Amino acid sequence: MTTSSVPSKPLAPQIDDLLTCVHCGFCLPACPTYEILGSENDSPRGRLYLMRAVAEGRLEVDDRSFGRHLDRCLGCRACEPVCPSGVRYGSLLEHARGERVTASGPLVRAAGIPIDLFFGNRWLGLLGWLALRLLRASGIPRLIARAGRAGRMPGHLRFAMAMLAATAPRARGALRGVRRRRRREGTWRSADAVGGPPDGELVALLEGCVMWGLFRHVNHATERLVHAQGVRTVRLPPGLCCGALHAHAGRLEMARELARRMIAAIENSGARLLVTNSAGCSAAIKDYGEWLRDDPIYRERAERVGRLVRNASEWLVERPQLGYRSLSARLGYDAPCHLLHAQRIDEPPVELLAQVPDLEVVKLPRSERCCGAAGLYGLLRRRLSEDILLRKLGEVLETDVDVVATGNPGCLMQIGAGALVHHIPVQAIHPIELLAGLLESD
């Protein structure tokens, strides 16, 4: 670790938040990277200490060791709920990564441009997603994923193909009729509300970027459950990204720009509530007030929109119970970090799944533990991500479940891909997809 004779203090505005850490160490057992690496600098307390050193000018923000320990953080926020001082670790991590991006050279900044283009330019993004869907439909990703030996750590390409293959619809039979109906109605609507009485309640549905690109079946399933509640829906434009991936990577300006676009789209929808099925998206939108607190035009609008968003499980569990067909199976629930730790939503998905007759629902033994997906972490930090994933897969085997349910695209891809490449006969499914596939009204 190097110190500089000319100290810079890029995290100085966060010093009050940093000083709320009293170094008690209660967060250490909750941290997956500390569990595996056993190093203080790879624990929440250690990383906060390094951020404080930067804020106080004792450490340069572009110090390589600082960057290494920040990069190893999953951003899972498991350290937040267990912290007696209420340290806002997730927000501090985003600021620290943002300062590193600002201080980085042109080459590092240029490396983020493809992500900005893919998620920031809707038309480029839509083309990219369509190409990925075609590749998925070819069956090649699945063949590549299954080609290696079981138990052997997969390379980047094989795991990426496995992640793509893991996005295929699971409740295929049950949703077939819906997809036919959807084709008759057109691929998407943004202006006209559908479902429910014309003067009835209206909610906006987030199509999203990854969710629209690779999990449209889950978006359709969400819409069906909302309609089954007699509520009308209006869809936000496809490809519209919430900015979560950019914020996690420290590309804060792009994240804020995407948040402004999202706020305008939600306001224009005419709905008084936004329902999303992606834990990462609902967590990000709930944080918009924080992201845009220095923007005089958007600050209040961001806070208002943050209060309008509901995760689909959070919304559905408050509504009248729907009728589901029975399913004789044993299901393991794994909590997405950005649902459990960032939004503190624990029981609603389990309570909803428990409404299915004959379905035995159990939480995985360490359901609160990250699966190692964490945005692009699963691809960029393969070794550490694989170590974390193998523990999760061990719990899946130990619990002897037929299927794993989890409500976030990254987790679905990570666990689904892990099962594929390690030849474990368990599929990962979004709880909403499973519920919609069993709706009695079909």
Interacting residues toward ligand SF4 by CB under 6 A? 21-27, 30-33, 44-45, 47-48, 73-79, 83, 85, 87, 89
Residue partners of 245: CB distance under 8 A and separation at least 6: 115, 119, 375, 376
Tokens of residue 129, six digits: 């997603």
Q: Would you say 3 or 20 has its CB closer to ligand SF4?
A: 20
Q: Would you say 50 or 327 has its CB closer to ligand SF4?
A: 50
Angle among Cα 118, 120, 121 to the nearest 5 degrees reads 75
Query: Residue 359 corresponds to which amino acid?
Result: L
Between CA 66 and CA 250 the distance in angstroms is 14
CB of 29 to ligand SF4, least distance (A): 10
CB of 133 to ligand SF4, least distance (A): 32
CB of 382 to ligand SF4, least distance (A): 16
* Structural contact between residues 255 and 247, judged by C-beta atoms closer than 8 angstroms: yes
Q: Would you say 47 or 232 has its CB closer to ligand SF4?
A: 47
CB of 19 to ligand SF4, least distance (A): 10
Q: Would you say 89 or 119 has its CB closer to ligand SF4?
A: 89
Between CA 164 and CA 145 the distance in angstroms is 9
Total Cβ atoms within 10 A of residue 242: 28
Question: What Å distances lie between residue 200 and 67, 275, 427, CA to CA?
Answer: 51, 16, 37
Q: Would you say 238 or 250 has its CB closer to ligand SF4?
A: 250
Residues making up the chain, counted from first to last: 442
CB of 25 to ligand SF4, least distance (A): 5
List, edge to edge, every strand of the sheet that includes 329-333: 359-363, 329-333, 403-405, 427-429
Chain Cα centroid distance, residue 222? 16
Q: Would you say 59 or 83 has its CB closer to ligand SF4?
A: 83
Between CA 166 and CA 333 the distance in angstroms is 17
Q: Would you say 66 or 298 has its CB closer to ligand SF4?
A: 66
CB of 432 to ligand SF4, least distance (A): 25
